């Protein structure tokens, strides 16, 4: 393996640095190797396409959930109307029996 001849400095937060150090330790590889692998594996175009597909899926799920909620609310409203009608009928029938 050729010796490293160039250095790249990466600025990060202390929390991110700790996470990177821990990940390299878990994988049992040097931090520089972890950073190289991550850099070469990253493909912005592919990531953007994957995020777009995920967003479309989430949007469709949200629309289905909204429709299901609307259906449930309509069912509840109709049920409440039927209950109110039955209660009104029961009150009327009770009033006739008392008379």
The domain locations on the chain are: 14-98
Question: For residue range 8-46, what is the model confidence (pLDDT) as tens digits?
Answer: 999 999 999 999 999 999 999 999 999 999 999 887 777
Q: Which residue has the higher pLDDT, 8 or 95?
A: 8
Q: Residue written as tokens 């990466």?
A: 10
Q: What is the pLDDT of residue 49?
A: 83
Structural Rg of the chain based on CA atoms: 32
pLDDT digits (tens, 9 = 90+) for 51-87: 899 999 999 999 999 999 999 999 999 999 999 999 9
Confidence of residue 94 (pLDDT cuts 50, 70, 90): confident
Q: How many CA atoms lie within 13 A of 36 on its CB side?
A: 8
Q: How far apart are CA 54 and CA 58, in angstroms?
A: 6
Q: Are 8 and 40 in contact (CB under 8 A)?
A: no
């Amino acid at each position: 393996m050729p010796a490293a001849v160039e250095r790249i400095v990466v600025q990060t937060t202390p929390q991110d640095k700790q996470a990177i150090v821990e990940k390299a330790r878990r994988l049992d590889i040097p931090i520089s190797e972890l950073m190289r692998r991550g850099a070469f594996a990253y493909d912005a175009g592919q990531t953007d396409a994957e995020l777009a597909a995920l967003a479309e899926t989430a949007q469709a799920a949200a629309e289905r959930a909204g429709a299901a909620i609307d259906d449930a609310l309509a069912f509840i409203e109709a049920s409440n109307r039927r209950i109110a009608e039955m209660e009104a009928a029961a009150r009327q029938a009770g009033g006739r029996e008392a008379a």
